[in-house]
A and B are shown apart, each in its own frame.
Chain A
Amino acid sequence: MTETLAQVLREHAETQYAHELSALAEIDKRQRPPSWKLSPWAVMQYLMGGTLENGFEITPKYIGNRRIIEIAIATLTTDRALLLLGVPGTAKTWVSEHLSAAISLDSTLLVQGTAGMAEEQIRYGWNYARLIADGPSINALVSSPVMQAMRHGKIARIEELTRIPADVQDSLITILSEKTLPIPELGDEVQAVKGFNVIATANDRDKGVNDLSSALKRRFNTVVLPVPASIEEEVDIVARRTEALGRALELPAEPPALEEIRRVVTIFRELRNGTTLDGKNKLKSPSGSLSTAEAISVINNGLALAGHFGDGIIKAEDMASSIVGAVIKDPVQDAVVFREYLETVVKEREGWKDFYRALRNIS
């Protein structure tokens, strides 16, 4: 979440934060699990940030609940794989990258899950020219990132696990339970070196996902990364990200006032949590995920509208249509939920008249 997007080329975490990792390794005297480059304690320090005994400052990589990260790291020390679950924009990929960077000094053993993925990308493929020329041999084999991680006792990362077709997902079962990858064509196998493990990420509110089979589920420990805990935290994240993105997209509008961001984040939080911020009224939640990432895109959209068609200052009307678009995913159910929210909450809120009118005109 803290990356700067203005950079065109993005460095890997282990390169960008190499100095922090080496400083940690230097003072880390605790026991390290086999093949780990740091002890679990040092990995924790790297993720959550802090000042070391020698005064070295570690920047926090994850802002949020410390206990969640503790469970995640502890999982990787056992023989179960780690599944990071959460709505978009909860820093799943970010955490997975930094965990593997800290544990294996290598965050590049990455498989990106897609709907059209085949088994080769998880297991192995063949270099056909060589296969035809020399016949089947280990040299003709093209190993997948997972296979490489097994050979070297590193962490393999699988992004968007639930987008992978179910039958391909299941090829992970042998790898995770037997810790071995058979190659029947050669009568051979690759056995995982100690230290090998898998971090997968998945989105639990995505539409059209392939649910994990219960056999596979049992091989993962699931850690849910929550949405930001407080409105201040979330406003802060949205403000920083929109500013960075606005610069990257070179939008002509002024960065939005914090007050506008707060209002959008308030709407998102209230509908997402099903209760008003003061905790006095319960609300129905719409079917969409209403993640922080969507709040960011609502504001960017508003900025673009204000910049290109308005006077460059973001107003309620500029954001209304994209708010409605983000909230109403199901045209029947969500519309009712949103109208109720408008009439019972937004209408009576002080200083929200313009928002109410703008939203009402659209929905």
Chain B
Amino acid sequence: MAETKIFGIRHHGPGSAHSLVAALHQFKPDCVLIEGPPEGNSILPLVAEAGMSPPVALLIYAQDNPRQASYYPFAEFSPEWQAIKYAVTSGISCRFMDLPQSHWLALNTARLKKMQATGIVAPAQPEDFQLRPSIEAPGELEEANRETTEHQEIIDHLQAADNQDLKDLLAEQEQEQILKQRQELRERIKADPIGALAEAAGFSDGERWWEQIVEQRAAKSDSAVDHSVFDAIAEAMQVLRLELASEEDPDARAKTAKLEVSDDGSERIIFDEDIIMEPLREAHMRQTMRSAAKEFNRVAVVCGAWHTPALLNMPPAKEDSALLKGLPKQKVDATWIPWTHGRLSFASGYGAGVHSPGWYQHIFNNRENPVLTWLVKVAQLLRDEDLDASSAQVIDTLRLVEAVSAMRELAHPGLDELNEAIITVLCNGNNTPLALIRKKLIVGESLGQVPENTPGTPLERDLNQLQSKLRMKPEPIAKILELDLRKPLDLSRSELLNRLLILDIDWAEKQYIRGKSGTFHENWDLEWYPELSIRLIEAGIWGRTIEQAAAARAADVASRTNSLATLVDLLEKILEADLPDALNQVMTRINSEAAMAGDVIELMKAIPTLARVVRYGNVRGTDIGAVKSIIDGLITRVLIGLPAASQSLDDDAADSLQALITEVNAALLLLNSAEDLKAYRSVLAKLAEDAGLHGHISGKATRLLFEGRTLDELAAARMMQFALSRGSEPLYAGKWLEGFLSGSALVLIHDSRLWQLLDSWLLGLNQESFSELLPLLRRTFSTFTSPERRQIGERVRDTQPVAGEIMLTEEIEDNLNLERIRPPLNMVRFLLGLEPLPEAGKDGKGGSE
């Protein structure tokens, strides 16, 4: 009979990883069994390859539907990883022993179908991003249903009940509440039993507790490391499981089943998955152990501490095989994908994760003196960021850490004590640097790598499918793709390319199209190059299909940036890529950033895009209500802040602001909200009247008011006269004109009053001012279209001669010999396109025509 040893570990526990490696070296097994999906067995040898560096995840996904998948992440400090590495490098057999994912996923599919059939979930339920799909056997479903109807009865009863009943019911509810809390506690213990034991012992971190247990054990026994710690853990777990089982009450369990309405509006029953899954999983583990025991002599079993009692006390093999009989199956594939510390951490919503992968990595690598080396790391980080952190401070921090741990009666300081001491001593009570420490050290930024010969990822598979479906072969030769978005095929192509761009896979580059065809034409430069395959693998951490990954990536970018402009930019990209999932998240971010943005310019930049979304975006089923409320908030803030933001601007700033004022005006027209437009115009009126502003702004405001018929011609003329009056600086007047006229000249051509005002102002300028203003005016006039310019020219020709001729003839008659200057004058008149001067004597009236 083979010797079998069970090592109960803490998932992602660096302490157990160390103890495990030492214990394996001592035990010298010829086969290692690991809690994990057997589908991964075939790619286990890749662990020892050169290109492999954790954090990585083992990904098991359904062949026909990559959206159905499970991730098993491993960091360097994960005991499972260390066990695999030990087995692969020492050339012994290594196997996963958990329930195959083919059954899990199949059970999950069956459940989903059943639920859809009974109408509990909407048919198109989005697949969750979760480590282990929560599963109930179909048989449990009716029970759950019954529970919910019972719950409904209680509510009905409550409504009909008198006061006395109400009290009873309240007490009942309280009871339920207590049950729920206990259930939650039980869940937590199951997920991390060692953490729970540590907590009970007064440790803030399971790792520090583990260290202490190991050290205590080591002190007792002769050898520094032995696996007796695992015996201790197994003993503890046996007691723990017995305790939990004794207070477990099947009725209470059923009561905790609840109908949960998730964010996306779909409903489902949350039920303790372990009721069904745990016996199945443990049965499969035992079966694997039995078959390994036949083949090998020394079998090491590595599993979560929770399972040790179930594996120590083997029931008859018959029972297990009966349990596992007839489970549904589904075809699955397995591969390794790169993972990040950020994704390992609790913050990214992955239930069985660790809060502080960076810290765990640190204590894994620095077992001797983790506290001091950590403080030195922190101090170095702070110094890199130009924050004060001297060695003396590090010493003082260390002292405080020790003093606090002594006060809290802890044998080993944990991360909490370190953080508190770091804030108090190194950061002078300011906890902003801690966010940096958390990001860079506690969580860490490392990204894993997988070897080149890793099997393809679902994302690649999805892209290949899309490429053949949309008839877009990846070719290394550049070519241009013209798309007409009115055709469904081209629209899907455009969406795919846009999604890839969000994932930084720049297979195609969008060309800017001039002129014709409006908004439904797109031109793309296509070129596939090999680095893109690598980026595709990297993008695998975001999801299993291109759509899902792009949405996740966009949401991530949105959560990282603080710039409103970036967010609005992203919003546009998301709309082009048709990612409704990410849309809401980006909208929320825009909402909160808009509240914080102090810069009115930023807010104004956001309005036009959002207005377009409101006006045209509803084809995609976007929640227009949310956008509308965001845009309302933006408009309110712009209305309040715009007058202040228009004060004391230089030429460049005024130029960009007046452009924004125009764009916001256009956006409001697009939104067609009379109220907002009215409020905006009253702000514009303030800008137009304020003589202290940059002329450009006032001029633009006047123009917009005039176009919006808030100012009639008379009022506009008055404003223009005011701006152009002699009291104001010529330069101001020039800027005002630039603001007023830029864009379109029609107002000048059609309104003779404004024309004349301009005319007489121009004539009244002295030479110096004129030459100063000439470039400015020329720039303004050059923005007009050529027909407009021609019309202006004609108008000048039609009116100008009158004034010019009179002046000229008067001077000629008074002072000059007309006959002698006639040739050059006629030359000038020819150049100006005028008739030559009449011969003297022929016409006595001279040039008075």
Interface residues of A (CB under 8 A from B): 40-41, 44, 67, 70-71, 73-75, 77-80, 83, 85, 204, 214, 217-218, 220-224, 274, 281-284, 332, 336, 339-340, 343-344
Contact = CB atoms under 8 A, between A and B. Distances in A.
Interface string B39-58: 00000000000000000000
A83 B425 CA distance: 10
B633 interface: yes
Given A41-B407, A281-B591, A284-B596, A224 B429 contact: yes
24 contacts: A44-B407, A67-B416, A71-B404, A71-B420, A75-B400, A77-B403, A77-B407, A78-B399, A79-B399, A80-B396, A222-B424, A222-B425, A222-B428, A222-B430, A223-B424, A223-B429, A224-B423, A282-B591, A282-B593, A282-B595, A336-B640, A336-B641, A336-B644, A339-B640
A221 B420 CA distance: 11
B592 interface: yes
A344 B634 CA distance: 10
Contacts of A221: 396, 400, 424-425
Contacts of B644: 332, 336
B503 to A, nearest CB: 29
B216 interface: no
B290 interface: no
B149 interface: no
Contacts of A74: 400, 403-404, 406-407
Contacts of B721: none
A344 B403 contact: no
Given A224-B429, A282-B592, A218 B390 contact: yes
Given A41-B407, A71-B420, A222-B430, 8 more contacts: A78-B396, A222-B423, A223-B429, A282-B592, A284-B596, A284-B598, A332-B644, A340-B636
A221 B644 CA distance: 43
Contacts of A83: 429
A223 B404 CA distance: 13
Interface string B376-418: 0000000000001010110010011001101110000000100
A194 to B, nearest CB: 15
Contacts of A217: 428
A343 B639 CA distance: 11
Contacts of A204: 429
Nearest to B431: A224
Nearest to B594: A282
A222 B425 CA distance: 6
| B interface SS class | helix
Contacts of A75: 400, 403, 424
A70 B407 contact: yes
A75 B404 CA distance: 8
A73 B407 CA distance: 9
A73, A223, A282, A283 — most chain B CB neighbours (10 Å): A282
Interface residues of B, number: 35
Nearest to A214: B388
Contacts of B636: 340, 343-344
Contacts of B406: 74
Interface in B688-727: none
A50 to B, nearest CB: 15
B593 to A, nearest CB: 8
B421 interface: yes
B595 A283 contact: yes
A71 B400 contact: yes
Contacts of A80: 396, 399-400, 425
A338 to B, nearest CB: 10
B429 A85 contact: yes
Given A224-B429, A284-B596, A340-B640, A218 B403 contact: no
Contacts of B598: 284
B440 interface: no
Contact of B420 (A67, A78, A218, A343): A67
Nearest to A347: B636
Contacts of B255: none
B637 interface: yes
B595 A78 contact: no
8 smallest CB-CB distances across A and B, nearest first, come from A222-B429, A282-B595, A74-B403, A282-B592, A74-B404, A224-B429, A222-B428, A221-B424
B400, B403, B421, B423 — most chain A CB neighbours (10 Å): B403
Nearest to A274: B596
Given A336-B640, A340-B637, A218 B407 contact: no
B401 to A, nearest CB: 9
Contacts of A223: 424, 429
A344 B633 contact: yes
A297 B393 CA distance: 40
B659 to A, nearest CB: 23
A44 B428 CA distance: 23
Contact of A343 (B392, B596, B640): B640
A68 to B, nearest CB: 8
B595 A284 contact: yes
A339 B644 CA distance: 13
A204, A222, A283 — most chain B CB neighbours (10 Å): A222
B393 A78 contact: no
Contacts of B408: 70
Contacts of A67: 416, 420
Contacts of A282: 591-593, 595-596
Given A44-B407, A224-B429, A281-B591, A71 B424 contact: yes
Interface string B422-443: 0111011111000000000000
A77 B404 CA distance: 9
A204 B432 CA distance: 15
A26 to B, nearest CB: 21
A283 to B, nearest CB: 6
Contacts of B641: 336
B429 A70 contact: no
Contacts of B399: 78-80
A3 B593 CA distance: 42
Contacts of B390: 218
A314 to B, nearest CB: 30
B407 A78 contact: no
Contacts of A344: 595, 633, 636-637
B393, B421, B429, B633 — most chain A CB neighbours (10 Å): B429
Interface in B569-606: 591-593, 595-596, 598
Contacts of B416: 67
A343 B641 CA distance: 13
Contacts of B637: 340, 344
A336 B390 CA distance: 42
Contact of B592 (A78, A79, A85, A281): A281
A40 B407 contact: yes
A214 B406 CA distance: 29
A223 B407 CA distance: 17
Contacts of A79: 399
Contacts of B420: 67, 71
A31 to B, nearest CB: 9
A222 B428 CA distance: 5
A43 to B, nearest CB: 9
Contacts of A224: 423, 429-431
Contacts of A339: 640
B406, B407, B427, B593 — most chain A CB neighbours (10 Å): B407
B199 to A, nearest CB: 16
A282 B430 CA distance: 22
Contacts of A77: 403, 407
A44 B403 CA distance: 14
B598 to A, nearest CB: 7
A87 B399 CA distance: 28
A214 B392 CA distance: 13
A75 B393 CA distance: 13
A281 B595 contact: yes
Contacts of B400: 71, 74-75, 78, 80, 221
B587 to A, nearest CB: 13
